[in-house]
Structure formats: C-alpha cells, structure tokens
Amino acid sequence: MSETALAARPTTGMLRAASPWLGAIVLVVALPFVFSDSSAITIMNQMAITIVFALSYNMLLGQGGMLSFGHAVYMGLGGFMAMHMMGWIEEDGLPIPLPLLPLFAGLFGLACAAVIGTFSTRRAGTGFAMISLGIGELIAACSIIIVAFFGGEEGISGDRTMGPPVFGVEWFTSGEVYWIISGWMLLSALLMYLFSRTPVGRMANAVRDNPERAEFLGYSARWVRYISFCASGFFAGIAGGLFAINYEILTEENLNLATSGAILLMTFLGGVGFFAGPIIGAIVFTLLQTVLSLQTELWALYVGALFVVTVMFFPGGLTGLLTIHIMPWRLGRLSELMIPYAKTLLPGAIGVLGFCGFLEILFHARHAAAGDHEMILFWITFDTHGPLPWIITAVVAGAGYWLARRNAPELKAALDHASAPDRMP
C-alpha cells in the first residue's frame, strides 16, 4: 500500500498491522479445543516457551548482530528465581498469584543481563561470542558449586498450586497452565516486535550492519548493544519463568551450553532475518524433538543434518524459503511452480527417505539386541542382516539425490522467472 493511501485511511493500515496478531490470538485460543489430549497440550506448552526463548535470542543474533553461545544462562537464571519464588509462596505465603511469576523471572533475567552486559557487549563479533561462551560455562559450573541457589545436581523443584487461586483456578493441570504460558507468549512476542520498531530497536539493526557508521550518527554502538542485550535477557527470563511454571523443576541442564546451542540452532533454522523466523524455528524444532523422537532414536542426527543443510543452502532459514514464494504468489504465478517442484522435491523427498532408511537399518544392525534381525520400516518387515534392504535403500537414496540435483536448476529458474515483476509476455 502506498504512503498516501495509508495516510488517507489510517484505520485500514492499523487493521493490516494488527491482523497477524489477531490471527495469532484466535489460533492460540482455538488450539487447545482442536488438540485437547494432554500430550498435545504438553507439546504446545513447550512450543510456546521455546518461542519466547527463541525470539529473545533473535533480538541478539538477528536484530543486534550478536552471536551468543550462552543465552540459556538468562532463561535458566530467570527460571531458578521463579522456582525459589514458588517455594516462598508455598512456605512463607508470599501473596503472588502464579500468572505474575514470569514477570519477576524476567526482571531477574534483566538484572543478570544488566550486570554481565556491562563487559560482554563492549565488542560484537568474536569477542562477544567468546565472552558469552565463557559466561555460559561459568554459570553452568556455578550451578554445582552454589547449591543454595541452583540446588546442585538434582536442581530445584516446587509446587505451582500453592499460591492464591486466580478466579478459582489453582493450576493443577497443564491445560490450565496453557493459558498462562500462551498469554505470556503473545504478550512477549508483541512487545519484542514493538521493541524492534523503536528508536533503539532500529539502531540495533544499524549497529548490526555497520557499528562504525552508527557512531558517526551520534549513537554509541556499545550502549545500543547493551540495551538490546538487557531487553533480550528480560524476555529470556520470562521464558525461564514459564518453564518453571510448566515443569516445576529446574536443573543445570536449563542453563548449560547444550541448551544455548539448541536455541541458536532452532533460531537459525527458522531464519534470523525475519521476526517470524524464530517462531517457525521453535515450532518445527519442538515438533521434531517431541514427535520425531518417538519414531526414531536417530532424531538428533536428522535435526543436525537439517541444520547443516539449512546453513549451507538456505541461509534465510525456513522463513526465507517461504518468503521467496511471496512474489510469485502476489503475481498469481504459484501454479507455474507446481511441475518444477514435483520434479525436484518428489525425488528429493524419496532420496531423503531412502537415506534415512539406510541409516535406520545400519543403526538396527549395529545396536539391536543380539539375534534380533527383524526390523519394521515403512510397514515392511525384513531381515537387517541380509544384503537386499541395504542395496535397495542405498539405490533409492542415490537415485533420488541424483534426480533432485539434476532438476534443481530448473526449479530455481522457474522461481526466478515467476518472481520477475515485468517480464516479456
């Protein structure tokens, strides 16, 4: 929409800006009625917590250009604080209703980020990454040393139902907790989005692109990074508070490097260049983690491979892949892409399945109980110690890969052709 049209009809512009958020609210409200069994609710709770965490991470990576290897620290610290407060509510009768707990966890995350940020945001790039790694190790090590706060190896656990009831709700079930978590998720996402539209949020982009130029426009690059860092710590802390409410336990695992690595992975998978990127990354990653892990023990291998492929071939992440279709869609040319897609994606998908089948057979042959030669894969029962399954999966993988690779340039050309705004008829 052009500027003049916006000026003429400001309400239309506001409606357009608000529509994704209204859609999100409707979705969040509708989901528990569509997927009402408890395992689905569990997954959705986990997803919402991860979305807040991933969005807070992207405030650093995507918007501020700061690669952190220790972001779990702020979520973990916020979560531990929330667990302690839950304990104070239970034992000392601290009159804080459960839905407000994430706010205090966020403030604690903010306070920790405000201290650590004073020295870690001095530089971006390698310096920042290294310090974040060091802090991550340091806090993870502290969790075993400072037992009073971190609870040692067994962590800190509590009971969320001890606080004052809110409208009679005492938060016994994960279905009730869903409303706290999804409400905070929506609020946090909105606030983080609005942050990116403020002066300091815009300057975070400028400092990411060119810190030196930003300094010659009157802004201290370090101070801009520091404010982004504190805001990111606040929202990570909120995620930690939500985690504490959902699981009622925090351990060293919540602030160690593995968790920090996972958030980097899923944010990148979703796409760091887009606000929605971390949301999509968190949803996909949580689904893989929960659903795929029920199907196969090798799920982490597949997620790792997906990450490597994304970094190598789709630096825009999954969201980047989606956005390249916006132009053809607007021009009404999506149908042109059907055949090239079928020619590339179909053999590609079959090849990937063949490759996964090969890996699964290998894993079964090496790790199944002695004498157990029988395996069921894709509803077919066969003997993993015979040569035939190996040959078939290898051939399928190879042929699929070869075909997909052969047809990929055609797909790319079709995409370019469909995206060109003014082409010859």
Partner 1 sequence: MSAALELVGVHKAFGRAEIIRGVDLSIGKGERHAVIGPNGAGKSTLFNLITGRFPVTSGVVRLHGSDVTGLAPYQINRRGLSRSFQITNIFPRMSVFENVRCALLWPRGYRYAFWRLLDRERALTDAADEILDQLNLTKRRDLPAGVLSYAEQRALEIGITIAGGADVILLDEPTAGMSHSETDYIVGLIRQVTIGKTLIMVEHDMGVVFGLADRISVLVYGQIIATGTPEEVRANAAVQEAYLGAALEEDT
Binding site for partner 1 (CB under 8 A): 3, 194-195, 197-203, 205-206, 208-210, 212-220, 223-224, 227, 231
Residue closer to partner 1 by CB (options 92, 422) is 422
Rounded to 5°, the CA angle 243-233-41 comes to: 20
Contact predicate 360/394, CB 8 Å: no
CA dihedral 310, 52, 201, 216 (to 10 degrees): -60
Residue closer to partner 1 by CB (options 42, 196) is 196
Closest separation in Å from C-beta 319 to partner 1: 16
The one-letter amino acid code at 152 reads G
Closest separation in Å from C-beta 124 to partner 1: 14
Structure tokens at 409: 């340039």
Q: Which helix (H) or strand (E) element contains residue 135? A: helix 125-145
Alpha carbons 3 and 26: distance in angstroms, whole number: 29
The burial of 338, by beta-carbon neighbours within 10 Å (0-12 exposed, 13-18 middle, 19 or more buried), is given as exposed
Q: How many CA atoms lie within 13 A of 416 on its CB side?
A: 6
Residue closer to partner 1 by CB (options 7, 145) is 7
Residue closer to partner 1 by CB (options 209, 374) is 209
Residue closer to partner 1 by CB (options 224, 283) is 224
Residue closer to partner 1 by CB (options 113, 177) is 113
Closest separation in Å from C-beta 216 to partner 1: 5
Closest separation in Å from C-beta 201 to partner 1: 7
Closest separation in Å from C-beta 175 to partner 1: 35
Closest separation in Å from C-beta 208 to partner 1: 8
Residue whose structure tokens are 């608000």: 18
Closest separation in Å from C-beta 21 to partner 1: 14
Residue closer to partner 1 by CB (options 273, 398) is 273
Structure tokens at 93: 């009768």
Phi (first) and psi of residue 7, to 5 degrees: -65, -35
Alpha carbons 132 and 260: distance in angstroms, whole number: 10
Closest CA to 42 of 265, 247, 343: 247
Closest CA to 39 of 235, 243, 189, 175: 175
Phi (first) and psi of residue 173, to 5 degrees: -105, 160
Alpha carbons 236 and 55: distance in angstroms, whole number: 9
Residue closer to partner 1 by CB (options 149, 193) is 193
SS3 assignment, position 166:
strand
Closest separation in Å from C-beta 220 to partner 1: 5
Phi (first) and psi of residue 169, to 5 degrees: -90, 130
Closest separation in Å from C-beta 339 to partner 1: 31
Residue closer to partner 1 by CB (options 19, 39) is 19
